[in-house]
A and B are shown apart, each in its own frame.
Chain A
Amino acid sequence: MSTRLPVVGDDPVFSAEQPSSPRVLERAQYTVEVVSDSGEGAQSCGQILGTVSAKMGNGVWTVEIIPAEVQPPPRNPAGASGNRVRIGSGPVTNWGDRTDLIVAFNEQALLARHRLDALEPGAVILIESMWQDHDDEGIRAEWSAAMEELGAAGYRIIHVPAHEQCLALTENPYLGKNMFMLGILTELFDRDTALIGAQIRHRFRKKDESVAERSIDLLELGIAWARENLDFRVSVPPVPGDRDMVVMNGNQAVALGAVAAGMELAAMYPITPATSVSHQLGEMFERFGGIVHQAEDEIAAAGVAIGASYAGKTAFTITSGPGLALKTEFLGLAVMTETPLVLVDVQRGGPSTGLPTKVEQSDLLAAIFGQPGDAPHVVLAPATIEECFHVMVTARRIAETFRALVIVLSDANLATGVQPFPRPELDQAWIASAPDQSPVPEGKAPYAWDEQTGLSQRFIPGQPGGMFTVTGLAHDERSKVAYTSDINQWSSAMRSRKIAVLGQTLRPPSLNGDDAGDLLIVGWGSTKGAIEEAVARARDEGLSVSSLHLTFLSPLEPGLAEIFSRFQKVMTVEINYSDEPDGPFVTHQNRRRGQLSWLLRAQTLVDVDCWTRVLGEPLRPGAILEVIRSNCGAGGER
């Protein structure tokens, strides 16, 4: 079979006629996707491209495209698996709007992305061409239909005979085609081949050396094919800074942050998309000391973490939405016994099993209010991958200082996205020291609450003079079961006061944009990059819009009502569900709103509007920009 390079569309830039003098597209940022059936390695391909680009000094944000099932049927649009990699000359803070170039291993995965409006009009498609001549008539028909649909959309389609090419080096191109495709991208983006090779070796370090060697052979084959057959290149010049950078995803950052904070035990039960935190910790704890405890279920994991913390260790637990629901009773125990505990909730779509692999921000209210009884505690939300690292230090410190439960709300977007950030300069002060074991002064009670602050000294088992009976029952200062109602009133006030005291130490949030104006967008968590990009684009259009991003959600950062008063309209932008204001049966009063919107309305008495989506993907800055355009100057629900 001869190599064919039909180019659908007539863009002069992408003419395949002059491979010897490729045209170079200079771009400040460019977005690439690699998609395949699950298990064909598109994710590895995209991850290596993203990691190497970051190491070369590009700004990068990657998003995993993950099917809901572990092994979906092949050649099915619902089973598309892969990566989006947004590469920039400067910092990249979100996944952008649409893809400029997509590498697809079959036309069905490609169709899925097209139908989800993931591709830029006129995007370049590099498609594995083996299916057009497939023995199965049905597959050939599917191919033809897909090409017709994609061709009609105006994309530039380049056929890549990846399977045929790879047969020269491997009997089973399904295991290795991704490296051939990576070779094409390496050539197209002029990536450092030494870094690519090193990354391949790192990825396959636990396999036989021959796997990495064959992968590199396939990579070189892809590079050679691209040199010979593609007449364009994309230049997104890296701008290396003067600071050392590290490249990782949010779950790796959480794990590294836990180690930097001196945490000694992570108790968990496997759950997507949180599990990889424990994988990372498992490797690191072997070197630095510490335990990853995989419990028999989510409830037990919470219990182990609480028990370890009670015994004086620095412990945390990791989960996602369904696990948070299961841990609820134990979280109440941590609050009642004032046992320091950090819980990381990597949010996914819900309720129930929901969208295990997709992002949502739907756990906010459950995280703050989800415990029966009154269970005041702290909720923090990192907004970037860098913050996923640093939040662990702060969470641990707050948990121990206030003898409190601290819930850290990450999400699937942060968990699997890869971004470079400045290498943290570790500080000895971050690390949890051993608990103070000096003898307890005679007569001191285990809950000797300071009336001003609600704080009390934490006793550790074995501490001289510190023996007491710990109980989840309402109790007095000496941990004796409360038989009179006034004790419960008093102890409840003390547990609540601690959170108020923490709130008193918080600074008002800073604004992105002007201090006053037509519209204020309020966000939290992983949407920060997309919101701020949208606000920047809107401001370039002359719109009067600012944004602020909350990281302390319980207690809330102070001064919000005063800030809100300076804007004509305030609205939250979130990845959770809200009714459309004009939906059937929806009134201003009964409308179900975005979760932060609900919280802000309750706390500030400001009629905060919202715009939310639960599409199973991160928000696109372009979509937020449309919302800004339609709300700026509109007044609205203030």
Chain B
Amino acid sequence: MPSDDREGTTARVLTALTGSREAFDSALARTAEEVRAFLEAHSDPGTDGSGSVAARLGAFAGARIDAARFTDLVERGEPADRQTIHAAQEAWTGLVALRKRGTELYVARVPAGGDLTETVSAALTESGRGFALARAARFVRDGKGPTDQSGGHPLLPREWSTAERALAPPLVVEVDGADLRVGGLADLLEGGQKLVLIVRGPAPPAPLARLIRPWLLVAQTADPEGVDALGGFAGPAILALMPEEAAVFSHDPRRGSGYARRLLVEHVPEAVPVRAGVPRPTAAAEDLEHLRELWRLATLAVEGAAAETPPTAVTAGGSALRGVAAPGKPSEAAQLGSAPPESVAADLDPAEPHPADRLAGWLLEQAGLGAGGGG
């Protein structure tokens, strides 16, 4: 991918991640404002780093209000101790500095031969500095005194709280296909974490298949517009922009319960291409087979359901990333492999209500609100 294209793609992805970025940035901004308010309320006037009294009063007051007198009479407040003020100032400065880094916070590059997980972890740890600063600010504001981390320190993702994970900063990662070892990312994909991998050069065909789990949005595509699928999804997600020949699929928890509903596969290569640069061909083949198996099961489940109910969300073909099926246009994925074993099909029978639905139905019935009850 030429560098111009790469930059364009990165910018495109960053735009698609605007919501997540703004959520994180807004949390930083809000915290910085709270610290500034604390400083204004509890500092000696003119020494809090957030502007002198004269500046705060504005130009209209310039020749009309005696700022020194105003300070003496009005801006007395209840000053906090010097250590606390210093800690609050450090937190405020750190938060402002972090915000000034702009989109740089949300982009990482894996050096050739580098470790993807380490790069991602390091970048998130650096962004985690914002959470450390917010914690320090909260300590100061709540009168619990300064901590030794008021200036903020990098905070490992595993040390983030549940609330912090919900605000996790998204990350766009540029990585060579040869370095695409994604297994270590599984632990980082929690809360609201969004990762987008922009993959360069020869790559294994279905590396993200191994990350598929019930509440994680996982997608591979060659189309940069596919990143729009992340928009509005509150949970964790990983999406890879892959070379053309790679598998195209998406596993989107918003589509419903069970892999049969959540998984859509548009394209699966016949085999791992034998090309120079594709790393760990055995693992790559295993990932590919894993995807085939999941899809086979899902297809089977849909076919089973089709005998009793008309197909709805999941049919073959269409755009996997948009969750829109194209009626009557069988995809090559639909023709994959042979029929699954009967027992597996029975396990996945979508005609069988989900346990949660059964529970809800029972509760409604008990309340006299069930479909056939009440009267």
Interface residue A151 (Cβ < 8 Å from any Cβ of B): no
- Check A394–B37 contact: CB distance below 8 A: no
Say which residue of B38, B63, B69 sits within 8 Å of A436 (CB atoms). B38
Contacts of A391 in B (CB 8 A): 60
Given contacts A393-B58, A429-B51, A429-B56, contact A506 B65 (CB under 8 A): yes
Complex contacts, A397 vs chain B, CB 8 Å: 56-58, 61
A501–B71 CA distance with the chains assembled, in angstroms: 11
Classify chain B's interface size: 20 to 34
A148: CB under 8 A from chain B?
Answer: no
Question: Is residue B357 contacting chain A, with contact meaning CB distance below 8 A?
Answer: no
Q: Closest Cβ of chain B: how far from A560's Cβ, in Å?
A: 13
- Return chain A residues, CB-CB under 8 Å to B36: 433-434
> Which of A382, A433, A504, A551 neighbours the largest number of chain B CB atoms within 10 Å of its CB?
A433
- The chain B residue sitting closest to A452, CB to CB, is B73
Is B74 within 8 A of A382, CB to CB?
no
**How close is A312's CB to chain B, nearest CB, in angstroms?**
10
B57 proximity list for chain A (CB < 8 A): 393-394, 397-398
Q: Are A439 and B142 in contact (CB under 8 A)?
A: yes
**Closest beta carbon of chain A to B133's beta carbon, Å:** 16
Establish whether residues A438 and B65, one from each chain, have CB atoms under 8 Å apart when the complex forms. Answer: no
B149 within 8 A of A: no
The answer, yes or no, to whether A428 is at the interface (CB within 8 Å) is: yes
Kindly state whether residue A174 has any CB partner on chain B within 8 Å. no
Contact of B30 among A434, A455, A501 (CB under 8 A): A434
**What does DSSP make chain A's interface, helix, strand, loop or mixed?**
loop
- Give the contacts of B43-69 with A (CB-CB under 8 A): 50-52, 55-61, 63-66, 69
Residues A507-524 near B (CB distance < 8 A): 507, 509-510
Q: List, in ascending order, chain B residues with CB within 8 A of A390's CB.
A: 58-60
Q: Is A490's CB within 8 Å of the partner chain B?
A: no
Residues of B within 8 A of A455 (CB): 74
Within 8 Å CB of A453, what residues of B? Answer: 73-74
Contact B73 A505 (CB under 8 A): yes
Residue from the list A394, A402, A436, A457 in contact with B40, Cβ < 8 A: A436
Contact across chains for A424 and B59 when beta carbons are under 8 A apart: yes
Residues on the A chain within 8 Å of B69, using CB = 504-505
Near B by CB (< 8 A), chain A positions 469-518 give 501-502, 504-507, 509-510
In Å, the complex CA distance between A435 and B34 comes to 7
Within 8 A of A (CB), among B164-215: none
Identity of the chain A residue whose Cβ is nearest the Cβ of B56 in the assembled complex: A429
Tell me if A427 counts as interface (CB < 8 A to partner B).
yes
A434's partner among B33, B51, B73 (CB-CB below 8 A) is B33
Contact flag A429-B74 (CB < 8 Å), given A434-B30, A438-B142: no
Does B234 sit within 8 A of A, measured CB to CB? no
Residues of A within 8 A of B70 (CB): 505
CB distance from A387 to the nearest CB of B (A): 6
Contact A428 B63 (CB under 8 A): no
Q: Which of B34, B42, B50, B60 contacts A428 (CB 8 A)?
A: B50
A382 to B50, CA, bound (A): 26
The answer to whether A507 touches B73, judged by C-beta atoms less than 8 angstroms apart, is no
Residue ID in chain B nearest A552 by CB atoms: B64
B2-55 CB contacts (< 8 Å) to partner A: 30, 33-34, 36-38, 40-42, 50-52, 55
Q: Are A430 and B60 in contact (CB under 8 A)?
A: no
Q: Which residues of A have CB within 8 Å of B73?
A: 453, 501, 504-505
Contact of B60 among A382, A429, A436, A506 (CB under 8 A): A382
- Whether A438 pairs with B66 at a CB distance below 8 angstroms is no
- State the CA gap A439–B143 with chains docked (Å): 8
Q: Which residue of A lies closest to B73 (CB)?
A: A501
> At the interface, yes or no: B75 with Cβ under 8 Å from chain A?
yes
B141 within 8 Å of A (CB atoms): yes
Task: Assess whether A393 is in contact with B59, with CB atoms less than 8 Å apart.
Answer: yes
**Closest CB in chain B relative to A393 CB, distance in Å:** 3
Known interface pairs A394-B58, A438-B42, A510-B63; 9 further A-B residue pairs with C-beta atoms within 8 A, sorted by A's residue number: A393-B57, A402-B74, A427-B51, A429-B55, A429-B56, A430-B55, A433-B40, A436-B34, A439-B143
- A interface residues, Cβ below 8 angstroms from B: 261, 380, 382, 387, 390-391, 393-394, 397-398, 401-402, 424, 427-430, 433-439, 441, 453, 455, 457, 464, 501-502, 504-507, 509-510, 551-552, 557
User: B interface vs A, CB < 8 Å?
Assistant: 30, 33-34, 36-38, 40-42, 50-52, 55-61, 63-66, 69-70, 73-75, 78, 141-143
Interface pairs (7), CB distance under 8 Å:
A397-B58, A424-B59, A427-B55, A429-B56, A436-B38, A436-B42, A501-B73
